[in-house]
Amino acid sequence: MKRRQFLCKSGFTFAGLAAVPVLGSGIESNQPQERRRYEIEIEIYEAREDTWCHKKGDKFKYPDDIGKICPWLLASMHDFIIALQHGATLGWKYEGTPYEKVIDPDGITTEFVRCPDPTSDLVAKITRTLV
């Protein structure tokens, strides 16, 4: 059975499918939306003085400096970086802590991520800036 025959026999019509956006699905336009561009910077916010990989204050541009970042830290930051690059804002703010975040979808947004290496006490601050 061909696809068109299957859809017609199962109750779907092409006119009905074409009308779905009109019925209030929230689709406003078929025009592609302009994608926002962001710069991502990573700063080592906390680290033990004797840690083997990064020192407090080290800064990296993402993705330019990806090879300079410890793989454990990079793995723990990966999903946060991808979300921030696509415009997502993670709602928790860590109010009243040293990790209180800046959340500004039209400017700078920050996120803090701890490295899973139990010997490093490493915290990275990810900063997203709208370009």
* Among 63, 18, 56, 21, CA closest to 40: 63
pLDDT band at 1 (very low <50, low <70, confident <90, very high): low
* Cα 40 to Cα 10, 22, 43, distances in angstroms: 49, 39, 10
- Output the average pLDDT for the chain: 82
> Which two structure tokens, joined as six digits, stand for 1?
């059975």
pLDDT of 30-64, one tens digit each?
666 678 899 999 999 999 998 888 999 999 999 99
Residue pLDDT, tens place only, 88-122: 988 889 999 999 999 997 889 999 999 998 888 99
The closest of 69, 38, 64 to 54, measured between CA atoms, is: 69
pTM of the model: 0.73
Residue 23, pLDDT > 50, answer no
Q: Where are the domains of the chain?
A: 38-130
Q: What share of the chain is helix, strand, coil (3-state, %, to 5)?
A: 25, 20, 50
